[in-house]
Amino acid sequence: MLGEFEYLLITAAATLGENAYGVAMREAIVKATGRTCSIGALYTTLDRLEAKGLVKTWMGEGTPQRGGRSKRMVRVTPAGTAAARSFYDTMMRISNRAPWAAQQTERAE
Amino acid sequence: MRNIAWKLIEALALQLTPTEREIVLGDLIETRETAWRGMREISGLVVRRQLQSWNGWGPWLAAPGLALPCSFMLMGFSFAISSELRNHFEYGWQLSFILTEPGKFISLLCQVLVLLICAWAAGFTVESISRRTFVVSAICSFLPCLFCLLRFRQESLPRFCLLLFLLPAVAGVCFSRRGGTINRRRALALALVATICMAVLAACGQLRVLNWVLIWPSWYLAILPVRSHGDSSNEVTVS
C-alpha cells in the first residue's frame, strides 16, 4: 500500500496531467495540505515511485523562467493509478464511520 | 538570488548527479527561492542522497570493511619494505645480497609484489563499490595513516615510509575513476601472484594470519566483477 506522501505525489501528478513536473507538483501539494514540501522529499519519493513502476519520469525541455534548465516531467502509470485508487478506497472505507467523516456528511446534508 | 549565494548553491549541487543538478537548480530559479531556502533545499536533497547510498552493502564493505583494515596492514608492509631497503641500500647499492642471501631477496620481492598488487586492487575495489561514498572510504583509509604517523618513533626511517602503499592505491582509484577496464585473465593472474607471494611470506614466517585479508580485493576483481559489459565478454569494466 502507498504511503501518505506517495499518494499525494501520484494524485498531484495525475491532476496536473501533461503539466506534471517538480515545481507544479510541489505547489499543488502545498496548496492542498498547507504544509511545505521539500525538494529532497519530492525527488527521493519520485525515485521510489518510479522504481516501483508507479510513475514514469523523463527530462522535459528547459524554459526561460528556469534559466533554460530542464524539468523532470512525471506521468502516472496504470499501476500507479491502480495503487492510488486502492489507497483512496481503503481510506474511504476505514473513514466511513469515523466521527469526523460523519460530521462532514451531516454538514453536507 | 545574490551571486555569491548562488555560487554556494551551485557548489552544494555538485554533490548531485548532473541530471538531478540541472533539474533542481532549474526548480530553484523558477520558484525564485531565497538564498537561504535554496541552500537548505539543496543540502536536504544532498543529505538524503548520501543516506540513500548507505542503504546498500557496498559502502559498508568499502569503508569499514576494506579501507580501514587494509590501510593498517599495508602500512605494515610499507614499513617492512622500507626497513629491508634501508638495511641493504643504506651505504650504496649493495646488490650482492641477491646472491648471498637469496631467501631475503625473495622475501623482499614478495613483499613488494603484495604491496603493489593488494594496494592497487584495494584502491580499485573501494572506488568501484562505493563511488558515491568514496569520501568516507578515503577518510577511513587516512585515519589509520594519521594515527600511525603521529605515533611513529623509528629514527632511522623517514615517517612517510609508512605511506608507500598510497601510490599504488591512488593509482587503482584513478584507474577505476577513469572507467578503466581490467581483463579477467589479468585480474586472475594478479590475484594468483598475490596469493603465491603471501604463501611464500607465510612459509618464511613473515606474515600474520590477519594479513590474508589483503588478498580479497584482488580475488574480488578476478571473480566478482562489479559490472561487466557484453554478455560473454571477459573484460571487466567498473563505472
Examine the domain organization and report whether B20 and B114 are in the same domain: no
**Model confidence at A34: pLDDT above 50:** yes
Between B19, B23, B47, which is nearest A22 by CB? Answer: B23
The domain tally of chain B equals: 2
Examine the domain organization and report whether B46 and B71 are in the same domain: no
Between A22, A38, A44, which is nearest B52 by CB? Answer: A44
Examine the domain organization and report whether B16 and B89 are in the same domain: no
For residue range B28-77, list pLDDT tens digits in order.
Answer: 999 988 888 899 999 999 999 888 888 888 888 888 888 999 999 999 99
Interface with chain A: mutation pick from B10, B27, B41, highest number of A CBs within 10 Å: B27
Examine the domain organization and report whether B93 and B44 are in the same domain: no
Task: Calculate mean pLDDT across residues A48-65.
Answer: 93
**Model confidence at B231: pLDDT above 70:** no
What share of chain B has pLDDT > 70, as a percent?
90
CB contacts, 8 Å: B49 with chain A:
44
The predicted structure's pLDDT at residue B236: 40
B3 touches chain A (CB under 8 A): no
The predicted structure's pLDDT at residue B57: 85
> Do residue B19 and residue A40 have CB atoms under 8 angstroms apart?
no
> Do residue A66 and residue B26 have CB atoms under 8 angstroms apart?
yes
CA nearest to B198, candidates B210, B185, B188: B210
**Model confidence at B113: pLDDT above 80:** yes
Examine the domain organization and report whether B48 and B102 are in the same domain: no
Q: What does the alpha-carbon distance between residue B138 and residue B126 come to, in Å, rounded to a whole number?
A: 9
Q: What does the alpha-carbon distance between residue A32 and residue A30 come to, in Å, rounded to a whole number?
A: 6
Between residues A9 and A100, the one the model is more confident about: A9
**Model confidence at B239: pLDDT above 60:** no
Number of H helices, E strands in chain A: 5, 2
Q: How confident is the model at residue B2 (pLDDT cuts 50, 70, 90)?
A: low
The predicted structure's pLDDT at residue B225: 59
Examine the domain organization and report whether B126 and B223 are in the same domain: yes
Sorted by sequence, the CB contacts under 8 Å of residue B175 that are 6+ apart come out as B120, B123, B124
Closest-CA residue of chain B to A73: B23
Examine the domain organization and report whether B112 and B174 are in the same domain: yes
Sorted by sequence, the CB contacts under 8 Å of residue B77 that are 6+ apart come out as B111, B114, B115, B118, B164, B165, B211
For residue range B144-183, list pLDDT tens digits in order.
Answer: 999 988 888 877 888 888 999 999 999 999 998 888 888 8
The predicted structure's pLDDT at residue B233: 40
Q: How confident is the model at residue B84 (pLDDT cuts 50, 70, 90)?
A: confident
B56 touches chain A (CB under 8 A): no
Closest-CA residue of chain A to B41: A39
Give B25→chain A minimum CA distance, Å: 8
The predicted structure's pLDDT at residue A54: 97
Look over chain A and give the mean of its residue pLDDT values, rounded to a whole number.
92
**Model confidence at B238: pLDDT above 80:** no
Least confident range from A34-38, B60-64, B131-135: namely B131-135
Task: Calculate mean pLDDT across residues A23-44.
Answer: 94
Examine the domain organization and report whether B70 and B47 are in the same domain: no
Please, what is the Cα angle at A44 between B136 and B63, to 5 degrees?
A: 15
Examine the domain organization and report whether B119 and B36 are in the same domain: no
Task: Calculate mean pLDDT across residues B206-215.
Answer: 85
Give B32→chain A minimum CA distance, Å: 9
The predicted structure's pLDDT at residue B173: 92
Q: How confident is the model at residue B211 (pLDDT cuts 50, 70, 90)?
A: confident
**Model confidence at A43: pLDDT above 80:** yes
- Report how far apart, in Å, the C-alpha atoms of A54 and of each of A27, A57, A76, B130 are: 21, 10, 6, 28
What is the domain range of residue B75? 58-237
ipTM of the complex: 0.87
Widest CA span of chain B, in angstroms? 78
What share of chain B has pLDDT > 90, as a percent?
33
Hey, what domains does chain A have and what are their CATH numbers? 4-108 (1.10.10.10)
Which of B35, B53, B71 corresponds to the end of one domain? B53
Pairing, β B181-183 against β A72-76: unpaired
**Model confidence at A47: pLDDT above 70:** yes
CB contacts, 8 Å: A41 with chain B:
44, 48
CA dihedral B69, B73, B78, B84 (to 10 degrees): 170
Interface with chain A: mutation pick from B12, B21, B30, highest number of A CBs within 10 Å: B30
Q: What does the alpha-carbon distance between residue B50 and residue B162 come to, in Å, rounded to a whole number?
A: 32
Q: What does the alpha-carbon distance between residue B192 and residue B80 come to, in Å, rounded to a whole number?
A: 22
- Report how far apart, in Å, the C-alpha atoms of B92 and of each of B86, B87, B97, B99 are: 10, 10, 13, 17
Examine the domain organization and report whether B48 and B64 are in the same domain: no
The predicted structure's pLDDT at residue B20: 92
B231 touches chain A (CB under 8 A): no
Q: How confident is the model at residue B232 (pLDDT cuts 50, 70, 90)?
A: very low
> Do residue B45 and residue A62 have CB atoms under 8 angstroms apart?
no
The predicted structure's pLDDT at residue B152: 84
> Do residue A71 and residue B26 have CB atoms under 8 angstroms apart?
yes
Between A38, A65, A70, which is nearest B41 by CB? Answer: A38
> Do residue B45 and residue A39 have CB atoms under 8 angstroms apart?
yes
Examine the domain organization and report whether B210 and B125 are in the same domain: yes
Rg (chain B; Cα; Å): 22
- Global pTM value: 0.69
The predicted structure's pLDDT at residue B195: 94
The predicted structure's pLDDT at residue B153: 81
Chain centroid offset of residue A38 CA: 14
Closest-CA residue of chain B to A39: B41
- Return residues 64-103 of A near B (CB < 8 Å): 65-67, 69-72
Look over chain B and give the mean of its residue pLDDT values, rounded to a whole number.
84
Examine the domain organization and report whether B43 and B160 are in the same domain: no
Q: What does the alpha-carbon distance between residue B72 and residue B143 come to, in Å, rounded to a whole number?
A: 10
Between residues B213 and A46, the one the model is more confident about: A46
DSSP A42: H
